[in-house]
């Protein structure tokens, strides 16, 4: 039996439907159904298609505006929701057609169903069209007194929305007074919504002052248990505007809101922590403050059991709280140890907290943990762990030897990125402890071939230059680095320039060939002004007075500290008033993150306790400066202007430089000529281990290994507005 071959039918594309065809089809579906479609099923399907197209930014749907308005009168909540969504989306585009929907919305506000009334009011208040805004004012006044609490709650939020549309119109009306009247409502949700609306208006206004007395604050705290989680957040936010006049008031209020710390919602917990931290500034009894601090620790630890995003928020706020109230988490260092499945951003933040909580008592436990971190697979995290070990050596002096031994143990692994990070932190350890741990220099020199990153190279070059008299072949090591001088980044070139000058000062016979070469490169063959200016400075200094050059280049430098994560007191005070907000994630003032946000300050009161913010044990005049303010990786100056001036008589050759009263231009010219002609004959009596202190290429006054974002100070003083519109009197 044979089967005849039948060719397949030719494939034909469906007929093309343009956008106009789609709109026509949807209009037909929207108007079909008639009396047979009692549940409006066809219309609902058509509206869902329209909403889907609208969501995909298909602006052709705006042509259906008249048909949508005709559907608004249908008594179906589902249909009304979709029609109102269409209206909000396209009203500003077709305002002349949209105004035809106002009578329908006003009619719906008289509907017996409170959901329909609230939906119509919310829709009308969302539309930023003049006719809608003006029509909303009288209906909001009416619905603020509605019998249903859900409608009153919606009306309260609509007042804030109207204020966003036209603040002058709202201020000229009595809407804010009516909103104040809702604070005496019997329903806690309505009260919380009115507070949220008033707080939003206060944030935007310069003419309104938010004032809460103790009686109002007590009423607000009393209704906390009856509110939803977001209602509790609104009320706690509003309590930040209460200024205690007596220490007892602040303590009682803090005790009454403390049960909210055990709430399951992280927003409630963090807002409650913020309010308690705020009230602590008005409590005089230190024992009571310590008791409150002990209550803040468990909720922060509990948040670490939630998802990684909430963990990260809790950890960033913990970094802030630790600076203001160190006793909050003093004994909880183990809960911040990293888990294998933590995201990298959580691990790095935990590492910062471990460093902040490390003390002489728990340093062994911390170093054991950091040793494990330094063998992780994540390179970024390993680098952070190695730097943390070096910072602990600077922070905790009795543990410095143990930290250095651990660093040498890690260097012995010969893993490139570990060796490079260890080199950087050991340079800082030498700055902190001069003439104590030079025995490890030989170990570092064995791994020179592993250094290929600019910061690590600059650190190693600094070590070679600073200890040139202790390193037998220091000139050969620097000569190796100089082969690629022109290709190196600027920080390495600066480090090489300074290290070569140090070599010449300490061992002139070894450095006399390198110095002229490097100075010539730096002054004639570079385009970088920093490098060129520093080279000219060294050139003139060496040609003028070698003793002055030695005092300046090898002079004692300010001590360094590992406490760079601390914010300045003004910023820290403001940040503690914004715990739980996005500003605390960046650890920056709130106006840096939110341009129009109102800055917060502690308000003056008889109960206000001005306390010194905990800081590092040794505070310098520039202690608030961070590494990023001084440059990175060896770019900081090796000069110390306190060591003396280099303007003195030049020795040899009968050429004299000008003193303080001489001709400066002639002195500079003669010094340049002398140095150019007599460089080969420059000699000073080589002395043994000549060190002028712990000076050298450094990272500024503060070692900041974690590279935190810069912190910018905002203008001082809060803006409380005028006195002509007090709320919550």
- Are residues 273 and 296 in contact, defined by beta-carbon separation less than 8 angstroms? yes
| pLDDT of the residue at 565 | 61
- pLDDT tens for each residue of 21-67: 788 888 888 877 666 667 788 888 888 988 888 888 777 788 888 88
How far CA 126 is from CA of 89, 120, 160, 161, in Å, comes to 10, 10, 11, 7
- pLDDT tens for each residue of 428-438: 888 888 878 87
Res 714 pLDDT > 50:
no
Residues 6+ apart with CB under 8 A from 14: none
Q: Which residues pair with 223 in a beta bridge?
A: none
| pLDDT of the residue at 652 | 36
DSSP 247-284: HHHHHHHHHHHGGGGG-S-HHHHHHHHHHHHHHHTT--
Please give the residue that has the higher pLDDT: either 684 or 184. 184
Res 259 pLDDT > 90:
yes
Res 452 pLDDT > 70:
yes
Q: Which residue has the tokens 């970024």?
A: 380
Residues 6+ apart with CB under 8 A from 311: 303, 304, 342, 346
Nearest to 538 by CA among 555, 550, 527: 550
Please give the residue that has the higher pLDDT: either 691 or 156. 156
| pLDDT of the residue at 700 | 33
Residue 392: both structure tokens together: 């602990």
| pLDDT of the residue at 34 | 63
| pLDDT of the residue at 277 | 93
Q: What is the pTM of this model?
A: 0.73
Residue 351: both structure tokens together: 């590492």
Res 706 pLDDT > 50:
no
CA dist 31 and 42 (Å) reads 9
Mean pLDDT, all residues of the chain: 79
State the pLDDT confidence band at 666, using cuts at 50, 70 and 90.
low
Res 112 pLDDT > 60:
yes
Residue 198: both structure tokens together: 């008033």
- pLDDT tens for each residue of 608-630: 887 654 444 333 333 333 323 22
Res 569 pLDDT > 70:
yes
State the pLDDT confidence band at 644, using cuts at 50, 70 and 90.
very low
Please give the residue that has the higher pLDDT: either 180 or 642. 180
State the pLDDT confidence band at 4, using cuts at 50, 70 and 90.
low
| pLDDT of the residue at 392 | 93
């Amino acid at each position: 039996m044979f089967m005849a071959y039948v060719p397949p039918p030719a494939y034909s594309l469906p007929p093309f439907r343009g956008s106009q065809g789609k709109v026509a089809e949807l209009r037909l579906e929207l108007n079909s159904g008639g009396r047979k479609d009692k549940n409006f099923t066809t219309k609902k399907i058509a509206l869902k298609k329209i909403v889907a197209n609208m969501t995909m930014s298909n602006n052709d749907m705006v042509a259906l505006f008249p048909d949508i308005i005709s559907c608004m009168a249908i008594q179906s909540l589902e249909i009304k929701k979709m029609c109102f969504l269409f209206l909000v989306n396209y009203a500003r585009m077709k305002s002349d057609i949209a105004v035809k929907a106002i009578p329908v919305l006003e009619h719906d506000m008289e509907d017996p169903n409170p959901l329909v009334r609230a939906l119509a009011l919310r829709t009308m208040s969302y539309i930023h069209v003049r006719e809608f805004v003006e029509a909303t004012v009288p209906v909001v006044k009416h619905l603020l007194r509605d019998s249903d609490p859900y409608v009153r709650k919606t009306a309260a939020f609509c007042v804030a929305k109207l204020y966003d549309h036209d603040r002058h119109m709202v201020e000229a009306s009595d809407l804010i007074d009516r909103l104040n009247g809702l604070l005496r409502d019997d329903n806690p949700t309505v009260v919380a919504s009115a507070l949220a609306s008033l707080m939003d208006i206060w944030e935007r206004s310069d003419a309104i002052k938010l004032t809460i007395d103790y009686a109002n604050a007590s009423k607000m705290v009393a209704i906390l248990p009856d509110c939803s989680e977001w209602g509790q957040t609104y009320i706690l936010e509003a309590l930040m505007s209460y200024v205690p006049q007596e220490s007892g008031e602040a303590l009682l209020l803090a005790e009454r809101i403390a049960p909210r710390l055990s709430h399951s919602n992280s927003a409630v917990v963090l807002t409650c922590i913020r309010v308690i931290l705020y009230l602590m500034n008005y409590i005089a009894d230190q024992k009571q403050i310590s008791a409150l601090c002990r209550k803040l620790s468990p909720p922060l630890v509990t948040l670490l059991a939630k998802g990684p995003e909430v963990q990260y928020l809790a950890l960033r706020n913990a970094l802030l709280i630790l600076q203001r109230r160190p006793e909050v988490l003093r004994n909880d260092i183990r809960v911040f140890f990293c888990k294998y499945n933590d995201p990298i951003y959580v691990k790095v933040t935990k590492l910062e907290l471990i460093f902040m909580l490390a003390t002489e008592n728990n340093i062994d436990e911390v170093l054991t943990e950091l040793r494990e971190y330094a063998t992780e697979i994540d390179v970024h995290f390993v680098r952070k762990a190695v730097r943390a070990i070096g910072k602990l050596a600077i922070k905790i002096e009795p543990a410095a030897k143990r930290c250095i031994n651990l660093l040498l143990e890690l260097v012995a692994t010969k893993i490139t990125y570990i060796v490079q990070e260890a080199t950087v932190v050991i340079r800082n350890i030498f700055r902190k402890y001069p003439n104590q741990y030079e025995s490890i220099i030989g170990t570092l020199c064995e791994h020179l071939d592993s250094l290929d990153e600019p910061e690590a190279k600059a650190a190693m070059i600094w070590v070679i230059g600073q200890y040139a008299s202790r390193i037998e072949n220091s000139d050969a090591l620097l000569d190796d680095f100089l082969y690629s001088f022109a290709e190196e980044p600027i920080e390495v070139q600066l480090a090489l320039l300074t290290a070569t000058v140090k070599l010449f000062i300490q061992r002139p016979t070894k450095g006399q060939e390198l110095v002229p070469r490097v100075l010539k490169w730096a002054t004639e063959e570079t385009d970088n002004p920093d490098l060129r200016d520093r080279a000219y400075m060294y050139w003139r200094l060496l040609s003028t007075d070698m003793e002055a050059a030695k005092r300046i280049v090898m002079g004692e430098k300010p001590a360094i500290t590992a406490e760079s994560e601390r914010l300045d007191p003004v910023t820290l005070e403001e940040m503690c008033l914004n715990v739980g907000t996005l500003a605390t994630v960046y650890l920056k003032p709130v106006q840096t993150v939110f341009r129009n946000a109102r800055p917060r300050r502690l308000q003056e009161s008889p109960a206000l306790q001005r306390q010194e913010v905990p800081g590092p044990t040794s505070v310098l005049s520039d202690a608030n400066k961070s590494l990023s303010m001084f440059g990175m990786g060896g770019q900081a100056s090796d000069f110390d202007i306190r060591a003396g001036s280099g303007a003195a008589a030049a020795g040899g050759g009968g050429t004299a430089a000008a003193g303080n009263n001489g001709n400066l231009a002639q002195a500079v010219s003669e010094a340049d000529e002398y140095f150019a002609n007599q460089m080969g004959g420059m000699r000073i009596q080589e002395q043994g281990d000549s060190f002028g202190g712990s000076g050298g290429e450094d990272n500024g006054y503060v070692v900041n290994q974690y590279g935190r974002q810069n912190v910018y100070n905002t203008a001082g003083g809060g803006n409380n507005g005028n006195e002509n519109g007090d709320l919550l009197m």
